[in-house]
Amino acid sequence: MMALTRENLMSELEKKNFEVEAKDIVKNGVTCHGIEIKKTDDDIAPLIYTDDLFSDANKKGYGMDSVVRMVTDFVISFGKDNKKNFNVKLLYDRKWVLNHLYISAQRDSNQPYVKKKSICKGIEVFLYLNISRDGAEYGSINDVTEILRITGITEAEAWKQAKKNMRDDMVIEDMGTVLDLDLEEPMLYVLTNKVHMRGAGMIADQTILADFARTHNTHCIAVFPSSVHEVLLFPDAEVKDFSAYNMVVQSVNEACVDEKERLSDRAYVFCL
């Protein structure tokens, strides 16, 4: 049986007349190995991460033939959907780009994104372009440097609009609602967006945190940015000892959050 390796998969895909290129992408500080693959006449090439693909295939007992079939079916479907739902020329449309700029968060990195330090030490926030369909994210461009240049959008303008777009999609729910529990007095809240993807970018807008604090009649709040998809908020006017909070974040990360999606193993404090 042929070994499930990136090189073997690329070789098999080339035999089927796909254009392929090995890509190593750093996601939130973790290197992910993938293949960029497309048909010659497609405008956009999806990036398929092979580590998770092969891990899942091994668990299910799939061989290379099955993996190749799954990948080719996906790429063909992806190409058809793109032609129906996404026009690459939109990337040169200033208004469209502005309306699709959002903010994501990740651990500090050397990646050349349009980015800033966040209020949480060790975490940076960066602009990305959300290519959406039916209200749900299905594609994104993380390095928007060239797109901003081509469309004549300044970084200041881009950050301002991205914050507005982000706030329009903002969702804050108490933990009882999220877990379907009847809590008499909810104290922990989830800050994210409507699609629960990359919601931790909300920490780029301090007015969101300030408004939350004022709503709960407190001067300081505890911020738990454990995942790239959401931030947990705890309204507490007397935040003193964070050791217990740190232990909670560490426990949740170990049990529930994939390493590629973890932001921090500690809690932070935000005060007005």
Average model confidence (pLDDT) across the chain: 87
Q: At 35, list the tokens.
A: 């293949």
Q: Which residues contact 164 (CB under 8 A, 6 or more apart)?
A: none
Give the pLDDT band (50/70/90) at residue 79. Answer: low
Q: Kindly report, residue by residue over 156-167, the tens digit of the pLDDT.
A: 999 999 999 999
The label of the residue with tokens 């190749």 reads 68
Segment 226-231 shows an average pLDDT of: 90
Question: What CA–CA distance (Å, rounded) separates 49 from 178?
Answer: 30
What is the pLDDT, as a whole number, of residue 252? 76
Q: Does position 201 have pLDDT exceeding 70, yes or no?
A: yes
For residue 196, report the phi and psi dihedrals to the nearest 5 degrees.
55, 40
80 or 165, higher pLDDT:
165
What is the pLDDT, as a whole number, of residue 42? 72
Q: Does position 85 have pLDDT exceeding 60, yes or no?
A: no
Minimum mean pLDDT range among 65-79, 115-129, 188-202 = 65-79
Give the pLDDT band (50/70/90) at residue 171. Answer: very high
What is the pLDDT, as a whole number, of residue 78? 72
Q: Does position 99 have pLDDT exceeding 50, yes or no?
A: yes
What is the pLDDT, as a whole number, of residue 147? 94
Segment 197-212 shows an average pLDDT of: 95
177 or 201, higher pLDDT:
201
Give the pLDDT band (50/70/90) at residue 185. Answer: low
- What percent of the chain lies above the pLDDT cut of 90? 56
Give the pLDDT band (50/70/90) at residue 226. Answer: confident
Q: Does position 228 have pLDDT exceeding 60, yes or no?
A: yes
What is the pLDDT, as a whole number, of residue 136? 46
